[in-house]
Chains A and B, each alone.
Chain A
């Protein structure tokens, strides 16, 4: 099945710093989603981005489907950005919305 790898596994930032999180996947996909899991465990969808670039405030994401990777950019990080960031892609081409998750990047932003 499709493999999803995220890097780095852990990231520590000072408030105000910028960062880039990477997601590599082993097969072509028609759907890629980024999620943030806050320290209380809640999973929030950040982006639905099968290709191209999207921006939402200080966060932006780019997916290059032909090269099988996606990047999540966090600018001017804040302590509230702390948590785990997951990317997820469908388990099979043209199938259902059965997302396979990467192991995540754990981000800690210190004041």
Chain B
């Protein structure tokens, strides 16, 4: 079992560029989510999904898009990167949508110049 796999681990972008952070899980988890972590702060929820085709916004959704075409994959898209999006991004999943242990990926460190 690979668990939750995130790619890339590191990325540097210029302001205005677009990119996609990939997240895949092989545990048949229904619930998937994206968090960002900024220095000295906890994690803040960006978007989440409770199944294929179903997504919704979290605390800080502006500037990010998501989709979930399969149970396994939940990519996070930055359409026009801004320096304020410099952060570490974590993907997390759980078996059930309403409860259960949240399992995290290793994180993706993004720098926007």
A residues with CB within 8 A of B = 4, 30-31, 33, 35, 41-45, 48, 86, 88, 91, 94-104
- Give how many A-B residue pairs fall within 8 Å (CB-CB): 61
Residue contact A102 to B42, C-beta cutoff 8 Å: yes
In the bound complex, CA of A85 to CA of B96 (Å): 24
Report whether B96 and A97 are in contact in the complex, using a CB–CB cutoff of 8 Å: yes
Given contacts A95-B98, A97-B99, A97-B100, contact A41 B107 (CB under 8 A): yes
| Residue contact B45 to A48, C-beta cutoff 8 Å | no
Given contacts A41-B88, A48-B100, A48-B101, whether A98 and B107 have CB atoms under 8 Å apart is: no
Q: Using a CB–CB distance below 8 Å, which chain B residues touch chain A?
A: 31, 33, 35, 40-45, 48, 50, 58-59, 88, 90, 92, 94, 96-104, 106-107
Instruction: Evaluate whether A43 and B99 lie within 8 angstroms (CB atoms) in the complex, with A98-B33, A98-B48, A100-B45 already known.
Output: no
The answer to whether A45 and B102 have CB atoms under 8 Å apart is yes
* Given A31-B99, A86-B43, A102-B42, A96:B90 Cβ within 8 A: no
Given A43-B90, A48-B101, A97-B100: A103 in contact with B41 (beta carbons within 8 A): yes
| Least Cβ–Cβ distance between B10 and chain A, in angstroms | 12
Contact B42–A101 (Cβ < 8 Å): yes
Residue of B nearest to A33 (CB): B102
Asked if residues A99 and B88 are in contact (CB atoms below 8 Å), the reply is: no
